[in-house]
Amino acid sequence: MTFPLITDPFFYAVTIPAVLLLGISKSGFGAGFGSLAVPMMALAVTVPEAAAILMPVLFLMDVLGMAAFRKDFDLALLKFLIPCGLVGIAIGALLFKVLNPHTVAALVGGFTLLFLAQRLLFPPKPDSAPPPRWLGAMLTATSGFTSFIAHAGGPPINAYVIPLKLTPLKFTATMAFFFFVVNLSKWIPYGMLGLLDMRNMATSLVLLPIAPVGVWIGVRLARRISQQLFYRFLYAGMFLTGVKLLWDGLA
């Protein structure tokens, strides 16, 4: 009896760098890069397959991220973000079979680039007010929705949390705990949709040892980088993510 497993060398050639980027992103350094993982893997497998394969990898990364930054998260902010994110997960689960993942990718990519353009053309003043809560609720729900469809929840929630001007450690820790809850809530819907089959899960187990490497690299960088440089890398990650997602959606 053969063990079900993806054996295509091209799959691993694109997936191993994707998992490393995801791990670095999970630790907060260049957080926008994490949304590139599924589009990169989609060069070799379908978007739903890529999303399912990453589920155990994401779980391990989330646990490692929370352990590394367990004393630095913003509890009050999490109490606001998590319920909104779960609403987005529920919407994504209900609409998963009728939505084209490429359409979702194009929308997320376009939104990300618009947010960056707004930040560059109209930079916020040091004393500018944070975004309103209603906008934060919408963006966080959108993050849960796009996270369910294609693990691309980073750009929408970044658009709300970045203007809050958290320190790199607090930003990283809060995102680690938020996405742990969001990703954990996907398991039952993914199972009901038939995505967690033996082939995908066996392939994921092969990729698990790579997860701590990416997280370790990101944690070391996040603890040593200045706030200004941290956000520059964050914007760079969001720009590349936006371009890639928009290109995939329109192509």
Radius of gyration of the chain (CA): 17
Residue 2 included in any domain: no
Residue 98 included in any domain: yes
Tens digits of residue pLDDT in 78-101 = 999 999 999 999 998 888 878 776
CA dihedral 11, 14, 17, 22 (to 10 degrees): -80
Residue 4 included in any domain: no
> Rounded to 5 degrees, what are φ and ψ at 20?
-60, -45
Which residue from 145, 132, 35 is spatially nearest to 86, judged by alpha carbons?
145
Residue 22 included in any domain: yes
Residue 229 included in any domain: yes
Contact 193, 94 (CB under 8 A): no
Model confidence at 66: pLDDT above 60: yes
Number of domains within the chain: 1
Model confidence at 28: pLDDT above 70: no
Task: List, in order, residues 6 or more apart from 224 with CB less than 8 Å away.
Answer: none
Task: Please report the DSSP string for 219-231 in residue order.
Answer: HHHHTTS-HHHHH
Model confidence at 1: pLDDT above 50: no
Residue 3 included in any domain: no
Model confidence at 77: pLDDT above 90: yes
Mean pLDDT for all residues in the chain: 81
Residue 127 included in any domain: yes
Average pLDDT over residues 223-242: 72
Q: How confident is the model at residue 120 (pLDDT cuts 50, 70, 90)?
A: confident
Residue 122 included in any domain: yes
Question: Could you list the residue range(s) of the whole structural domain that residue 128 is in?
Answer: 9-250
Model confidence at 198: pLDDT above 70: yes
Average pLDDT over residues 215-225: 74
Tens digits of residue pLDDT in 132-150 = 999 999 999 999 998 887 7
Q: How confident is the model at residue 162 (pLDDT cuts 50, 70, 90)?
A: confident
